[in-house]
Amino acid sequence: MIFSSMSKANVRRHILEKNRSPKEKEKPAQSVLSKHLKKIYPIGLQRSTSSLSLSSLSLSLSQNSNDSSLTDHSSTPLEQKISLALSLIAPHHERREFVVPVVKSVQHHHHQQQQQPSQDPGSGELRRCNWVTKNSDKVYVSFHDEQWGVPVYDDNQLFELLALSGMLMDYNWTEILKRKELYREAFSGFDPEIVAKMGDKEINEISSDKAIMLAESRVRCIVDNAKCILKIVREYGSFSSFMWGYVNYKPTINRYKYPRNVPLRTPKAEAISRDLLKRGFRFVGPVIVCSFMQAAGLTIDHLVDCFRYSECVGLAERPWRHI
């Protein structure tokens, strides 16, 4: 009786197995990951030659979680992570075609920006610092284009620029530049040895010249400063060596984009001003010293989009030339 029951059970089991499809017989147990992978990709996973481990994959996923270009918003979060993981495992040569064109495009754009001339796109004219306008006098434009910001190493030229900068207390650059040749003639080319020997007669002649328009106190100031320069020459060998020593014999290159960024005085100018005052110089406050440094090229303060900026920077990067 027991054997008969077992026989019937075996027969029933045999019939059920016989009616089962071959695919169902061979169907293995699937993990949740395999189900989702087959849902996205109709291919089976193959063993990867990549050295990435599951832990490194999870790290890569977290590092790239904010990359919108690798995210499909229409997919589920699990599908997004799987898709990103597969893209990271893919060999480098398979991903190159997506990366290289972008890099080349960025490099080409950067190269074009470097070669772009400093010209106004509207008028096609050279871009200058914003304080040079269409109404600016030609002498002022010429000073900006040819002298302002060019490193000066000659003692006489440095003395001249220091004297002209001191006149900014009474006049603007345009007014000063228009009379520059008169100043050079009156002060013997700003040779400190000659100016330092000027007496009351020469001082009165210069101050009484209506074309020069310098008060006696201003003329005496220039004469006294010439005497101070001679003392510095005896101590340092030259006025140029003394002044350039403040900036380690190399111009300070700034990158100002707007006129409001350009300071009227700087900590360096304040330090130089204090030292010059201690040495007996007059009319050498921080603002005047800052203007002197800009004019003499000790500091490059042209705006970055000015056509003279790159030219003056090129001059500033040369080795120090003491004359």
> Over 50: is that where the pLDDT of 219 sits?
yes
Q: 309 in a domain, yes or no? A: yes
Q: Which residues contact 224 (CB under 8 A, 6 or more apart)?
A: 280, 281, 282
Nearest to 166, CA basis, from 299, 290, 297 = 290
Q: 24 in a domain, yes or no? A: no
| Phi-psi map region of 165: left, alpha, beta (phi>0 left; psi -120 to 50 alpha) | alpha
> 293-323: per-residue pLDDT in tens?
999 999 999 999 999 999 999 988 887 665 4
Which tops the pLDDT comparison, 319 or 15? 319
Q: 197 in a domain, yes or no? A: yes
Q: What is the mean pLDDT of residues 104-114?
A: 41
pLDDT at 118: 63
Asked whether residue 129 is marked as a ligand-binding residue, the answer is yes
Judge contact between 143 and 296, C-beta under 8 A: no
Residue entry with tokens 């330090």: 271
The H or E element spanning position 35 is helix 32-40
State how many domains the chain has.
Answer: 1
DSSP letters for 129-168: -TT--TTS-HHHHHHHHHTTT-----HHHHHHHHHHHHGG
Q: 38 in a domain, yes or no? A: no
Q: What is the mean pLDDT of residues 191-200?
A: 97
Q: What is the mean pLDDT of residues 122-141?
A: 88
Q: 109 in a domain, yes or no? A: no
- pTM flag (> 0.85): no
The percent of residues above 70 in pLDDT, for the chain, comes to 60
Asked whether residue 36 is marked as a ligand-binding residue, the answer is no
Nearest to 298, CA basis, from 254, 261, 250, 263 = 250
Write the CATH number for 186: 1.10.340.30
Q: Dihedrals φ, ψ of 293, to 5°?
A: -65, -40
> Over 50: is that where the pLDDT of 17 sits?
yes
Q: 221 in a domain, yes or no? A: yes
Asked whether residue 306 is marked as a ligand-binding residue, the answer is yes
Structure tokens belonging to residue 289? 């010293």
Q: 265 in a domain, yes or no? A: yes
Q: 191 in a domain, yes or no? A: yes
Structure tokens belonging to residue 162? 């220091």
Which tops the pLDDT comparison, 159 or 91? 159
pLDDT at 238: 96
Domain span at residue 226 reads 138-317
The Cα 27–Cα 17 span in angstroms is: 14
